[in-house]
A and B are shown apart, each in its own frame.
Chain A
């Protein structure tokens, strides 16, 4: 059997025979009238109705071999428009097929206005207003979420057996172990860049010997915690939001609630605990790689030996600095995980919501990390 070509020329599948008799116009239709040639035959009809002096139009369906609902609708519209031009238009010789199709096209449905109107108020003021409201509501809901987290945490401390240790290890692996390669690589490259940039400046003063100290100081105090936190926000914060969001969409969160579990305790606490444990370790790991990156420049371009570079590196580091770095990393981790979980719970319906809140989880987490970092910078300055 020969198959039909995938793209037939639909305009050749229909014919309109026109007979003009004074004020009468007779149109005999033959062939197939369908979506694919609707634009073509509608245009033809437009011409006939524009002919001067036509008062009566008869459209004869007798030789139509196929008509679909879109074409039937087009004839109804043609008839309607003829009425507005004071032309008497009638459809004759309809077969059962055409009658059937015409019977399901309700005039009421065609003219009924939409029940709901799309939001059209897009003026600058309404946008500013809406965004402000959104930010305010967002802040309140985050505070409420923190409150719920504290309650859930208190419950977990009082009932340690309710803690799902298996989950904690799972997320420690996800956020920590699986992130080692990228965190190490970024740490190494960051250290390399600082070493290289500072070397270019310091060599003019003959102060090459300060490069190791600069690298280790910068990595430990700022760049290590910050870079690690940003990476974890991108890797794990987004994953938490997407995971919980999809669970909301699939009604799994509702199922948890009806089984008597507090979804926050069940889903958020293991993730937050795992992240808080893992991120400080990742930070130290990243700092080590940063120092290693600096060492590559130190040994190759500064004529320092590995042992000199190393002793110079750790000379400036104080225990206080390591402690503050760990505290910072812990706080960043808590922020990332909390935001990720909260955004996940904010998902209401649909795939688009999951995407929106996953994006928001990462953006908000990075924003809060930078805000928290500024606060820490001032705080630690006065603590010394």
Chain B
């Protein structure tokens, strides 16, 4: 059955390349967006085949789900005919530059991948997993061994939201008029399932694939569905504005822990093994809350108004 698995993997790889080409060069932005979403799903499948279920979960939830919703809603707000400004191959002579460029890039990437040390850092991670406070090596890397990278990732998300909100107010109406009452009803009915799934993913993160990013993405998608169902966010204004501090909760909590550890132990992000498990849990919960709200805040496409006008 070995050849069957190889054929399947080969087909997945080819499909990925073809979808990437479609996402860039398909006629019409709609086809590009849909190709990009399918690209995310196939990418998730490939991560599963590479036995990296953590990344597969994140890719499916963020790459295909949240980003897809974002792109589709952006597409719906573009005026007709905005497709005309698309960049196509303007001149065959450009290929003289791009083909060698692509060939050299592929060669360098291939050589680099070839020279990576064979067992990687997996052995080291497995050896020190006992001191990390969690049983899932991915969570151990994300929130203990390489916490600094995670801090920067959450920081990038927060900066993205600040930039989007700074560009202008959220468009009004915030969602297109629903041609069917089914989606709002479904959104309301399914929201508890989203909360359940996100909590489950978060709880699993300490010992199995899952964790803050996956939980946050699922929760953010639930929030987007609630906005489509007619709910309105409460992140601005005088009364409920302070809730938007939750957006930076993940970053602030990670920084606070890092600085506290630096003061206690002398090293940035060096947890004492006894405290590692509760600290990682606290960081996971705050990061998941933040990521959920950040995903959702990005989807609003601008700063939400202080008071929501009644919409028909």
Co-assembled chains A and B: no
